[in-house]
């Protein structure tokens, strides 16, 4: 199963390939265990089936490497080591399979010609058919998963676009409100300036009146003492 890293944006398809690889890896492990218990042509047929599974695992790892390049750079370093680990595990399976094939070849040289004619061929064809069916099912499942991830990604993209459109509407309304506020502020400033001018004019008039009154009082007082 995929782990917590798979919740990172952009890693959904990688997680799908990873799950597929783990299934194929389990199949390879099972086939290697079966090979150890078989002999003769059935063992060779099982080896060929395991080789096909290894080839499929190789293909999945190649897809994982490609998908890692599509993951955002800031989280890519979390996934690359996992691909290397899977590649290392697959190399170990390849070595085990290589040893099993060598043993089967040696045993085949010793016991060649002892099996019933045609029986081994039928068994091999049946194994190839079963293996091909399994690979087809897994490929179909990968395709289904890829389509599902693509659909989910499309839905996420549509949701993001919808959110962006809503945010744009909010920003437009905010800009309109700011423009209206600036207009109100401009009108308020004009009003305040007008009031300031009127207050200054009134102050000048008041000072002039007071000055005239003072002069009149001085004139009256001066006229009395003449």
74 is a domain residue: yes
Q: Is the pLDDT of residue 109 over 60?
A: no
124 is a domain residue: yes
Residue 17 near residue 64, CB atoms below 8 Å = yes
pLDDT for residue 113:
42
209 is a domain residue: no
pLDDT for residue 114:
41
Q: What is the pLDDT of residues 163-220, one digit of tens each?
A: 888 888 888 888 888 888 888 888 888 888 888 888 888 889 999 999 998 888 888 8
180 is a domain residue: no
Q: Which residue has the tokens 């170990």?
A: 92
Domain extent, residue 136, equals 4-172
Q: Is the pLDDT of residue 48 over 70?
A: yes
CATH number where 63 lies: 1.20.58.400
Percent of the chain whose pLDDT exceeds 70:
79
81 is a domain residue: yes
160 is a domain residue: yes
63 is a domain residue: yes
Query: Residue 128 — very low, low, confident or very high, per pLDDT cuts 50/70/90?
Result: low
More confident residue, 92 or 164: 92
pLDDT for residue 87:
93
Q: Is the pLDDT of residue 34 over 80?
A: yes
Q: Is the pLDDT of residue 66 over 80?
A: yes
Q: Is the pLDDT of residue 3 over 60?
A: no
Q: Is the pLDDT of residue 117 over 60?
A: no
Residue 114 near residue 39, CB atoms below 8 Å = no
Concatenated DSSP letters for 138-185? HHHHHHHHHHHHHHHHHHHHHHHHHHHHHHHHHHHHHHHHHHHHHHHH
Q: Is the pLDDT of residue 14 over 70?
A: yes
Residue 43 near residue 106, CB atoms below 8 Å = no
More confident residue, 174 or 117: 174
Looking at every residue in the chain, the average pLDDT score rounds to 80
Average pLDDT over every residue of 138-144: 72
Q: Is the pLDDT of residue 116 over 90?
A: no
Domain count, the chain: 1
The rounded Cα 156 to chain-centroid distance in angstroms is 11
Concatenated DSSP letters for 48-59? HHHHHHHHHHHH
147 is a domain residue: yes
């Amino acid at each position: 199963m995929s782990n917590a890293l798979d919740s990172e944006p952009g890693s959904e398809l990688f997680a799908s390939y990873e799950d597929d690889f783990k299934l194929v890896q389990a199949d390879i492990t099972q086939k290697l265990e079966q090979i150890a218990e078989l002999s003769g042509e059935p063992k060779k047929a099982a080896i060929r089936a395991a080789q096909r599974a290894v080839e499929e695992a190789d293909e999945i790892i190649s897809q994982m490497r490609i998908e890692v390049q599509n993951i955002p750079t800031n989280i890519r370093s979390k996934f690359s080591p996992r691909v290397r680990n899977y590649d290392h595990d697959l190399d170990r399976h390849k070595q085990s399979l290589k040893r099993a094939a060598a043993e089967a070849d040696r045993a085949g040289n010793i016991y060649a010609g002892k099996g019933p004619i045609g029986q081994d061929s039928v068994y091999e064809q049946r194994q190839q058919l079963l293996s091909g069916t399994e690979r087809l099912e897994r490929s179909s499942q990968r395709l289904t998963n890829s389509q599902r991830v693509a659909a989910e990604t499309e839905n996420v993209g549509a949701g993001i676009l919808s959110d962006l459109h809503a945010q744009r509407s909010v920003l437009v309304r905010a800009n309109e409100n700011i423009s209206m506020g600036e207009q109100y502020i401009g009108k308020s400033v004009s009003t305040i300036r007008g009031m300031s001018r009127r207050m200054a004019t009134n102050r000048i008039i008041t000072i002039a009146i007071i000055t005239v009154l003072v002069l009149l009082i001085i004139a009256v007082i001066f006229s009395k003492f003449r």
